[in-house]
Structure 1
Amino acid sequence: MTDSDSPPINLESLYGTSVEEETQQKAFSEGEVPVAVYGLGKMGLPLASVFAETCGNVIGADIDPDVVATLQDGGCHVKREPGLDSLVADLVDSRSLRATTEPREASRDASVHVVIVPTPITDEKEPDLAILDTVIGDIATGLTEGDLVLIECTVPPQTTEQRVFEQLLEESDLERGEFGVAFCPERTSSGRALKDIRGEYPKVVGGVDEESTRAASVIYDTINSEGVLTVSNATTAEAVKLFEGLYRDVNIALANELAKFTDELGIDVREAIDTANTQPFCHIHDPGPGVGGHCIPYYPYFLIKPFETPSPLLSTAREVNDSMPSFTVSKVREGLESQGIAIEDSTVVVLGLTYRPGVEEIRASPSISITHELTDLGADVYAIDPLLDMFDAFEAQPIDQEDIYDLGADAIVLVTPHKEFEAIRWEELDTDPNGPAVLIDGRATLDNLDFDAWTYTISGGAR
């Protein structure tokens, strides 16, 4: 057979092809490999945008019609991600990024399928993979030979191999070896998503077979300037993602437990932690009023619940971190009582409701429990958060930051130190005869504050 008689090379197929990787990367970068990203949330939209700026041929799928309509108009529903607004506008204008509410439409159009949908936890602390199952079923309807499915959302280990891959085999017309599947976890943080995706850290890649790993590496080596770390299989890659979060949860629990020794030891535990961390083998995290967000408080249950291996350390760490909002409230009560004020007769202001400074996310935020517990104890609770428009999750009356001077609060609890709080005129509150009698500093961000009120810093104690 002559070269002219050879079958044409399908550059859309990254899996199971003899085409050189350099040629594949070139084809991907030039838009010959259509990509679908399923899930356009706070991490999905930045991911879709980085894919689109690299290859110029991305369709995003999301079942929320408002998200899709906003994107089709060149708008960006994800807030406070530097550079994302302008990038999305440019990509939509150039037709590099499109959107649909029909995942099956995206599946028919794409050769690479990137899944980054929520994997929530039920009230029973069980991982809920229903959304993932639905998306994989949609992908199966359009899966063709040579396609590559990449899972970015965090899942319990063995999900990619035993659940995703098997579902695709069962619901598509393809056989084992005709398409690829790999787990390639997102390693991004809110407020810096584009920077992280483009290459702040190497991309972890693990496939259900060697060819899946190789094909996925071609993709991510193109979009990530730090390159790719390949691991033995998809389950190992899933474990990498979990271990990153579990380390932080356990480490923070250690810091929080040490912080509770502050009063009995009569020291600033943070000073001891900071000094201990000058030794290269010690890296204790910071204590605080609790652990929030959509990752760390939930990831332990991806191991605790689905597997039989005992995990007492993970469970204990969750208990310690979940106890910190109540510990914070106990210090509010202690401070008020020391000033002769009953908590049921008090007015308390909670500063910062999101789980992290500068991030508009309230999932598992310590402030939720703190406001509820204070209200249950009879306090009148007010809350200030410059990032939020909705306050339904909190048992508190929202007020503007300037209102704090006229409220006559008995206690102020700083939970999340947003940058906007640097404008608070503490000296004005301090000299006000009706100013707060108690100040709780949850994150040790008010160390240089000269305040006459009974002040308690978590890990620093009362002064």
Structure 2
Amino acid sequence: MKLLGLDREKVRNAIEKGRVTVAVYGLGKMGLPLAAVFAEHGAKVIGVDINENVVEMINRGENHVKEEPGLDELLKKNVEEGRLSATTDGVEAARKADVMVILVPTLTDERGNLKLDPVYDVAHKISQGLEKGDVVITEATMPPGTTESIIPILEESGLKIGEFGLGHAPERTMTGTAIRDITGQYPKIVGASDERTLEALIGIYETINRKGVIPMSSIKAAEAVKVFEGIYRDVNIALANELALWCEEHGLDALEVFKAANTQPYCHLHMPGAGVGGHCIPVYPWFVINLAGRTNPRLTKTAREINDSMPHHIVELVIKGLNEAGRPVKGSNVLVLGLTFRGGVREFMKAAAKPIIQELKEWGASVYAYDPLCTPEDAERFGATWKEDFKGVDVVVITADHREFKKLDLNRMSAEMRSKVIVDGRNVLDPEEVEKLGFGYFRVGRVRNP
């Protein structure tokens, strides 16, 4: 059932009664949960992916996104009930669909330069099946202005914009909480090519999101929302890191000061740490920087510089800890705990562990690594040797806040380590508990006992 021109209530009713077919392009960590949620709310959903193994698994009711609580059950139920299927044929999916959602990966380099080939490839496929009244939505996060760049591709269908609708509804989800986030953690942001499309988008997302929808004045404004959310976090983490470094110079415990300051409602100092990783926060600032004309986003640039420098500072703390233990860096044994960029997620983009390992090796240290979500091959790719004990280790460096690291066996560490130094790059340990056992304990914003 075509939705363009219907009011939001009719759109919701059509989806809930199974009259609408939604094609979701990209069945990864964000796309598959979205497809399952649409199906759960009544839509007939066709998931599209280029990976044949992924498509076969989904059609058997098997979930390949293991980090997502509740997705196993949601996927199996909707496949068995006939509301969700998968295919590698993006053109045929477009022919059958009324709504097409593009949520393929947008690959970037470290300076946020996008490789949009996956998005354009999907747009070409959609154009071959596009019909009058269809609605095309991008959810992938992209620089403001990018969604409208696919209009000429979609118009290869012979239709003009207005005969079909185009919108942007940025995903506002995290790995591990995607279903929760899609269905009601935050309101959905939507922007559209015209008022009729906007009304359809409001109805589409009100159907699946309990928190409702925030309509924006344009597609570009909707794109900017998600980008600005990431920049806000990056800049504020940089501020926390800068103030934490100042606290180190002045013998203060940054977390003590931050906690007290944050009791004032206008203050929200973030957590300092070993660095900012992932596909989002360290990348989105470059969207703004790269698009700047006369404006010069100095604060955004400086924040990136500060956050990118934090792995180097962790190495400085390692050197300081070894010096206080009377041991040179060269020939020391350093165990890095955490190869992923954050706890509970097996993702490596801009993980702090990589530059830390590289720099320590340049200093002549022997570097080992362990991560409960990873393999010895992952450690080897980072340039470290896999190690699951603390025997002969001089320094333990924590670079990911996995829950396992919050419960380290400190007594075992004390017995097995050669030198007792801990550099806590994610603030997961209790300093008093650590120091009672005679460890030298260092973290960003605190390098000496209070």
Tell me whether the two structures share a fold, i.e. TM-score over 0.5: yes
Q: CA deviation at 1:462?
A: 2.7
Equivalent residue in structure 1 for 2:405, among 421, 426, 429: 421
Identity over the aligned pairs, expressed in percent? 46
CA distance in 1, matches of 2:403, 2:249: 32
CA distance in 1, matches of 2:161, 2:99: 17
Code of the residue aligned with 1:373 in structure 2: it is E
Q: Which moved more, 1:186-195 or 1:447-456?
A: 447-456
Which secondary structure state, in structure 2, belongs to the residue aligned with residue 461 of structure 1? coil
- 1:328-347 CA-to-partner distances (Å, cap 9, x unmatched) read 01110121122221112111
Q: Is the 8 A contact 2:401 2:428 kept in 1?
A: yes
Q: Is the 8 A contact 2:5 2:196 kept in 1?
A: yes
Which secondary structure state, in structure 1, belongs to the residue aligned with residue 307 of structure 2? helix
Q: Which moved more, 1:90-99 or 1:385-394?
A: 385-394
CA distance in 1, matches of 2:314, 2:407: 24
Q: Which residue of 2 aligns with 1:3?
A: none
1:8-407 correspondence to structure 2 within 5 Å: 12-17=1-6, 20-122=7-109, 125-161=112-148, 163-169=149-155, 171-308=156-293, 309-389=295-375, 390-391=377-378, 392-400=380-388, 403-404=389-390, 407=391
CA distance in 1, matches of 2:276, 2:8: 43
CA distance in 2, matches of 1:124, 1:460: 31
CA distance in 2, matches of 1:243, 1:189: 16
- 1:384-430 CA-to-partner distances (Å, cap 9, x unmatched) read 11112350541111233xx23xx210100111121122442102322
CA distance in 2, matches of 1:21, 1:327: 52
CA distance in 2, matches of 1:426, 1:435: 14
**Root mean square deviation, CA, Å:** 1.5
Q: CA deviation at 1:36?
A: 0.2
Q: CA deviation at 1:443?
A: 2.0
CA distance in 1, matches of 2:300, 2:17: 46
CA distance in 2, matches of 1:21, 1:64: 34
Q: CA deviation at 1:124?
A: 5.5
CA distance in 1, matches of 2:374, 2:92: 35
Q: Which runs of 4+ in 1 moved over 6 A?
A: none
- 1:59-90 CA-to-partner distances (Å, cap 9, x unmatched) read 11111122112212211111221101121111
CA distance in 2, matches of 1:311, 1:375: 35
Q: Which moved more, 1:302-311 or 1:185-194?
A: 302-311
- 1:338-360 CA-to-partner distances (Å, cap 9, x unmatched) read 22211121111111121111112
Q: Which moved more, 1:443-452 or 1:339-348?
A: 443-452
Code of the residue aligned with 1:426 in structure 2: it is L
Which secondary structure state, in structure 2, belongs to the residue aligned with residue 213 of structure 1? helix
Q: Does the alignment pair 1:412 with 2:399?
A: no
Where structure 2 has 5 or more consecutive residues not aligned to the other structure, the ranges are none
* TM-score, normalising length: structure 1: 0.92
Q: CA deviation at 1:317?
A: 0.7
Q: CA deviation at 1:321?
A: 0.4
Q: Is the 8 A contact 1:368 1:393 kept in 2?
A: no
Q: Is the 8 A contact 1:202 1:226 kept in 2?
A: yes
CA distance in 2, matches of 1:52, 1:321: 40
CA distance in 1, matches of 2:387, 2:325: 25
Q: Which moved more, 1:271-280 or 1:388-397?
A: 388-397
- Aligned residue pairs: how many? 443
Q: Is the 8 A contact 1:127 1:301 kept in 2?
A: no
Q: Does the alignment pair 1:462 with 2:445?
A: no
CA distance in 2, matches of 1:81, 1:435: 39
Q: Is the 8 A contact 1:336 1:437 kept in 2?
A: no
Q: Is the 8 A contact 1:412 1:436 kept in 2?
A: no
CA distance in 2, matches of 1:120, 1:244: 19
Code of the residue aligned with 1:16 in structure 2: it is G
Code of the residue aligned with 2:382 in structure 1: it is F
Q: CA deviation at 1:460?
A: 2.0
Q: Is the 8 A contact 1:16 1:179 kept in 2?
A: no
Q: Which residue of 2 aligns with 1:5?
A: none
Which secondary structure state, in structure 2, belongs to the residue aligned with residue 260 of structure 1? helix
Q: Does the alignment pair 1:436 with 2:419?
A: yes
Q: CA deviation at 1:319?
A: 0.7
Which secondary structure state, in structure 1, belongs to the residue aligned with residue 249 of structure 2? helix
Q: CA deviation at 1:219?
A: 0.3
Q: CA deviation at 1:100?
A: 0.9
Q: Which moved more, 1:415-424 or 1:127-136?
A: 415-424
